[in-house]
Chain A
Amino acid sequence: MKTVTIFLLLISGLAVGQTKISGRVTDVSGEPIPGANVLIKDSYDGDSSGLDGTFSFVTEERGVQTLVITFVGYKLFTQPVELTGTTLTIAAILKEEINQLDGVVISAGSFTAGEEKRRTILKPVDIAMTAGATADIAGALNTLPGTQKVGESGRLFVRGGDGSETRAFIDGLLVLNAYAPAAPNTPSRGRFLPFMFKGTSFSTGGYSAEYGQALSSALVLTSKDKATMNQTDIGLLSVGADVAHTQVWDRASLSGKVQYTNVQPYFGLINQRVDWKVAPEAFEGSAAYRQQVGKTGMLKFFGNFNQSSFSLFNHDILDPSQKQEFELTNRYRYANASYQQAISSAWTLRGGTSYNYYQNDVRVANNPMGETETGVHTKLVAEHSVSDQLEIRMGSEIIQRHYEAVRYNEGLGKSEQVSFNELLSATFTEAEYYLNSKIVAKAGGRFEYIQLNQSATLSPRLALAYKPGKQGQFSFAYGSFTQSAQNEYLRFNNQLKQETAQHVILNYQFTTDQKTFRIEAYHKAYRNLVKFSNANPLLISNQGKGNARGVEFFWRDSKSFKNVDYWLSYSFLDTKRLYLDYPISATPTFASAHNFSAVYKHFINKLKSQVGITYSFSSSRPYYNPNKPASQFHHDRTPAYHDLSANLAYLPKRNLIVYVSCTNLLGRNNIFGYQYSSSPNAQGQYESRAVRQAANRFAFVGVFITLSKNKSINQLPNL
């Protein structure tokens, strides 16, 4: 009897009572979702939804179970079901997950480049391989809208701002003096090579509250993570040589590089317009260490030192036989340590410290002058993901700067010293809220206090984006930005207030897989700019002001032509300032109304080569002819600027690259402005001299060899 009971019990327990479950999976708007996975939790039973969203399956499970539906890009759907053998019909509505890759993002003012992100406009390899840029980050970014080509400087001049208004950040930490010193009228190069970075975000306005002390633009560079392979790289350049080595461990990597450059032999071949005594020579070294900590922690350390020097003769404009020796030695150190760790799935902490040191030793006719700046930036940021719709970021930072300058006082016949200490503390907070996949808003603010002159500023930031369709989106950004007056003014007047700029930006961007179109319009208002009283550079105040407005277009297409990638950018700028020694409100000498760039790259498989061509155009720039009255200040215009540059990377072997580049192929004699004699000649006229490139063209040849166990790795990315 017992046996029978147990038997029956077991049988009933195992009795195969099947339940049929069918239904349809749709999104909120009722559109069917095909390919969704429909299942009974902890069982094999389930089905995939068909093209019309319907599904149907039979399960042998019984009792109360959980029906689960999953599909990429949608939130998990769960519903308790009671399986009794009666057929069930389910109408499942899946909600879209927010923050998806093809969802809305704020694009006003910013260009991002990275290997990982799909929607990036420029990739690191683009930066390295843009003709005319000679692998300089600023050089490549100068082909994007929002920048003005200032050929004699090489820096990033953004939307009517001068070169000092763009600030670079590495892993969130400030870089003071991001450019290496350059000979007169020669574009200076950035101190950091593009391929140290996995991501580059170039903002021409309206950037996050996390970044301060930049009036016009933030260049946010994210360094690479742990290296993956041991390798040694050797570069033989027409202007020097470098060698680098990377050693990789299980959870850490260390890379080091040393480089020596000397342009003396090159100048021996190509006639220069500069009367060199000693041509530029530089020695540089850098090291990067990466350590993974635990599951999510990453410690990064980067250090760089550089020493460069040159000397030349400046000739008098009135009497060119009169010359004065100018000698410069620059010593530079940069160190940056940063750490990032996810504390939980909702909290991430990151922070770090950067150390900046630079010293310019200058001798003019053997009289010592010079300046030294030391800066330490410390920052801590917490990111909190409250839900998939709301992200909050907050942080604090301290920037300490010490500046010291020695100048020669001709009246006293001896050197004088000026110096200041600036201690800046800042705190910022920002919230990003996704109403849905189409609308996102970001609001925040930044508070700064500067001990040097007890100035406190509060800078609000706001951005909105709306993506009505799959490919097009509108963005808006507003922000207030501040920056300390330049050292050369602050050293004479410590009480100078923060210079400010307000940005308003409207942007429309249309992106498909390999094509991008964008148009952006902006207005920018400058206040508290440094102004000289009675044209006396020692009597300075914050009475200066200015504004800038413009429209910009960008088009990139990597798809239409096989192996071809090209982009076009155009910027229109209308700007005026009343600052420094300006007697009237006028367009600054660095500003040109129209800037156009066309960048073309073609990979030719047969020749194992990539060819790049860049054409740049800048309309005329203003200058002041002192023979005219002050009412004609900046009324004269230089000729327009044209440049056609080309480069070629040839890969004859797997680990060998030959790289050749040349700027200004057409040999155009570009004039950037005019210098005038400091006193009039016998006829009472100020004589002029054109500011021109040191040589019309700059040609470069490099051979890059990579030694690693894996012979397929080459230095293409490092060019």
Chain B
Amino acid sequence: MKTINFFLALVISVGAFASDKYSEQMGKYIHAVYTAKTTEEYQSAINALDRIALAEKTKWEPYYYSAFGNIMLATQASEGSRKDSYLDLALIAIEKGKAIQANEAELVALEGFVHMIRVTVDPAARGPHYSGLAYQTYGMALGINPNNPRALALMAQMQFGTARFLGSSTTEACGLAKKALAQFDLHKTNNPLAPTWGREMTQELVKQCN
């Protein structure tokens, strides 16, 4: 009896240990990807997240942060073809994440982010197609969760960029940015690994509005 108890206790603790390991490791590399500065730091964090994604098979978060890292690398890259290849990797990771968790507003918002960065490679040629796609994808993310702060913030960013590009009024974009900023405080989730980034970016945007 004692044996069985002990055995059970062990199994349970092993199980708990395994799941803790996921959270612990994810916590470590999410922090790494948020604080990375150089290409090497990003690459190392992305690789670690990819390893976790491959080992876990049922978790969308590692794919999410891997994609996020690649998007950050894309924004840092100067050459258009480099940007595109990072964005290609980000999109592949997002697709894999969506295959696990189809209706995750965070993943869909991130996909919109990929399209938005695509525009920057060649605004004149790509603007029409990819900005349309970005708006549509942000719209889909907000359809899943109308209060997702990152979906709101990215949409605001997109509207602001378009308004600036065309020299038109930024009122609508700024209104949305303020709403997004408020949602960063109100947004609650049970998932300790859920993304938290975007507040500073939105604060910057609101500052530009004033």
Contact = CB atoms under 8 A, between A and B. Distances in A.
A5 to B, nearest CB: 9
A83 interface: no
Contacts of A23: none
Interface residues of A, number: 49
Contact of A48 (B10, B44, B128, B132): B44
B3 A35 contact: no
Contacts of B52: 44
Contact of A42 (B55, B133, B135): B55
Nearest to B3: A3
A228 B136 contact: yes
A293 interface: no
A673 interface: no
Interface stretch (A146-154, A407-415, A711-719): A711-719
Interface string B70-100: 0000000001110011000100000000000
A118 B84 contact: yes
A273 interface: no
A10 B128 CA distance: 62
B162 A101 contact: no
Given A6-B3, A229-B136, A45 B51 contact: yes
Interface in A644-682: 651, 653-654
Contacts of A717: 128-129
Interface stretch (B145-153, B163-171, B196-204): B163-171
A710 B125 contact: no
A70 B54 CA distance: 12
Given A39-B51, A46-B47, A513 B80 contact: yes
A713 B129 CA distance: 10
B50 A3 contact: no
A34 B81 CA distance: 19
B135 A716 contact: no
Interface stretch (A119-127, A316-324, A425-433): A119-127
Contact of A229 (B7, B55, B80, B132): B132
Contacts of A44: 21, 25, 48, 51-52, 55
B174 to A, nearest CB: 15
A197 to B, nearest CB: 12
A605 to B, nearest CB: 8
A51 B38 CA distance: 13
A90 to B, nearest CB: 16
Contacts of A513: 79-81
B120 interface: no
Interface in A20-44: 34-37, 39, 41-44
Given A123-B125, A228-B133, A37 B25 contact: no
Nearest to A713: B132
Nearest to A248: B136
A115 interface: yes
A654 B43 contact: no
A178 to B, nearest CB: 24
Contacts of A43: 51, 55
**Max chain B C-beta neighbours (<10 A), residue from A43, A115, A514:** A115
B129 A115 contact: yes
Contacts of A653: 166, 168
Interface of B: 2-3, 6-7, 10, 14, 21, 25, 39-40, 43-44, 47-48, 50-52, 54-55, 79-81, 84-85, 89, 122, 124-129, 131-133, 135-136, 158-159, 162-163, 165-168
9 contacts: A6-B7, A35-B44, A37-B47, A39-B51, A39-B54, A44-B55, A46-B48, A101-B85, A712-B135
